[in-house]
Amino acid sequence: MPASYTRHGFVKMPGNRSVGNYTVYIGAGSNIGNKLANCQNGIESLIKSGGTVLKDQSRFYKTEPVDYQAQDWFINCVAKIETAKNPFELLHTLKSIERDVGRVADPVKFGPRILDLDILLVDNLVVTSSKLVVPHPRMHKRRFVLQPICDIDAKIIHPVLMKNMQSLLEMLDEDEQRIEEYRCAY
């Protein structure tokens, strides 16, 4: 797989990667305020930012916090988008959206947040930099990421672990990271 070092970091690109749009999976989560609306508005803001089209979206899930337990449950989903933005431009857009809704530096790692927008996968690229790591470095350990991705396409291959999303989901302990579908009027 060809690789290059950009001013942002190391990027491995598949040999058949053509210039143009990227297919990206974005995780959205919130556990402050109107959690569902925060996630919906975050995705809507991303689409309205230009150069980005929503291709598919998972169901919404109510999810148990991971790592830092002393907080309210989250609402999470995953959106599949097509974008002309490269991964670093997209990261800049996501962070801008988070700031616009009032997210500030997290005082507690993995703590409460009004909106969290994460780049999970970008085509089958591998990106390693001080600002961005793709695939998301903990996605294979997170039921609240894997289940929503499986709603969209369970056969997507993790470009580092070389396993599909359904296999990664099945490897998780069923007694940990409780999630339930969040029924809502879309």
Choose, from 59, 116, 142, 153, the residue flagged as catalytic: 116
- Identify the active-site residue in 113, 142, 143, 151: 113
Is residue 5 a part of any domain in this protein? no
Q: With respect to residue 186, please indicate whether it lies within any of the assigned structural domains.
A: no
- Count: domains in the chain: 1
Listing from the earlier edge strand, what are the strands of the sheet with 3-5?
3-5, 10-12, 126-128, 133-134
Does residue 143 sit within a domain?
yes
Is 151 assigned a catalytic role? no
Task: Note if 72 is an active site residue.
Answer: no
Instruction: Given the residues 17, 56, 103, 106, select the one marked as catalytic.
Output: 103
Domain annotation covers residue 6: no
Catalytic residue among 7, 99, 118, 143: 118
Q: Is 116 a catalytic residue?
A: yes
Rg of the chain, C-alpha, whole Å = 16
Structural domain of 124 = 18-181
Domain membership flag for residue 69: yes
User: pLDDT digit of tens for each residue in the chain (186 aa)?
Assistant: 444 444 444 445 444 444 569 999 999 999 999 999 999 999 999 999 999 999 999 999 999 988 777 788 999 999 999 999 999 999 999 999 999 998 887 677 777 899 999 999 999 999 999 999 999 999 999 999 999 999 999 999 999 999 999 999 999 998 888 999 998 765
3-state SS of 164-185? Answer: EHHHHHHCCCCCCCCEEECCCC
CATH number at residue 172: 3.30.70.560
Q: Rounded to an integer, what distance in angstroms lies between the CA atom of residue 42 and that of residue 119? A: 13
